[in-house]
Amino acid sequence: MTEPQTERSAIPVLTIDGPSGSGKGTICRHVARRLGWHYLDSGALYRAVGIAASWNDIDLSDASALVRCTFDTTIDFQEGDDEPRVIVNGMDATDELRTETAGAAASAIAAIPEVRAALKDAQRAYRRPPGLVADGRDMGTVIFPDAAHKVFLTASAEERAERRHKQLSEKGVSVTLPGLLREILARDARDANRAVAPLRPADDAVSIDTTGLSIEAVVERVLALMPAR
């Protein structure tokens, strides 16, 4: 006899949305590990499509080619001790994926409604037992609107730029702080002002301003929101 399938809507989800550098990826990975739940980095999917487009010389203004590229791109996450490796069309694209160029390309293609629609089912397929922690811009509003736990992380733009500067410097990527701040503000504006699935807190999300808070403090605050899990 086969195992009874868990009804997908019965699988618990914690969504963590917010702007660039608010700490979504870091907090999600810690919380997912503590809960023993799966983790979805939805931004990596948009970044992967952007990278596949650049590998195929597709212009970011060519919406129909980008939609075809979204359907043609394969994305796999390989779990390890540290950050998961992201394999795009069979190639390890982890380092290229984290650059600000990839972030800006992802933000541009993420404004195309058909690209978002093409990634919807793939994102929902990550909802597997015993639970999912989902990181992005529209996790609580569009992809998992029925999630029992929703968080919106923020931090001042200056602190987010400093965090990203430190993160990239540690990886040997040379960037200037004023340049990063400009890029972050431009990305915030584009993600928040697009017509489809703009960056905004779900009505039932708890907002946490992480400015001046340690990673550990934010992890504890998030876990404290889920006493009945």
Tell me which residues touch ligand YYY (CB under 6 A): 20, 24-25, 42-44, 46-47, 103, 106-107, 110, 136-138, 187, 191
30 binds, among ligand ADP, ligand YYY, none (CB under 5 to 8 A by kind): none
Q: Consult the annotation and say whether 207 binds a ligand.
A: no
Q: Cβ closer to ligand ADP: 114 or 209?
A: 209
Bridge-partner residues for 86, per DSSP?
77
Q: Consult the annotation and say whether 21 binds a ligand.
A: yes
Q: Binding residues for ligand ADP, per CB under 6 A?
A: 18, 20-26, 163-164, 167, 210, 213-215, 218
Using CB atoms, what's the residue nearest to ligand YYY? 43
Smallest distance from ligand YYY to CB 119, Å? 8
Q: Consult the annotation and say whether 136 binds a ligand.
A: no
Q: Consult the annotation and say whether 156 binds a ligand.
A: no
Q: Cβ closer to ligand ADP: 22 or 141?
A: 22
Q: Consult the annotation and say whether 36 binds a ligand.
A: no
Q: Consult the annotation and say whether 43 binds a ligand.
A: no
Q: Give helix 42-55 / helix 113-124 axis angle, nearest 10°.
A: 130
Smallest distance from ligand YYY to CB 5, Å? 26
Identify whether the C-beta of residue 136 lies closer than 8 Å to the C-beta of residue 151.
Answer: no
Smallest distance from ligand ADP to CB 133, Å? 12
Smallest distance from ligand YYY to CB 98, Å? 8
167 binds, among ligand YYY, ligand ADP, none (CB under 5 to 8 A by kind): ligand ADP
Annotated binding residues, written as ranges, equal: 18-26
Annotated binding residues for ATP, written as ranges, equal: 18-26
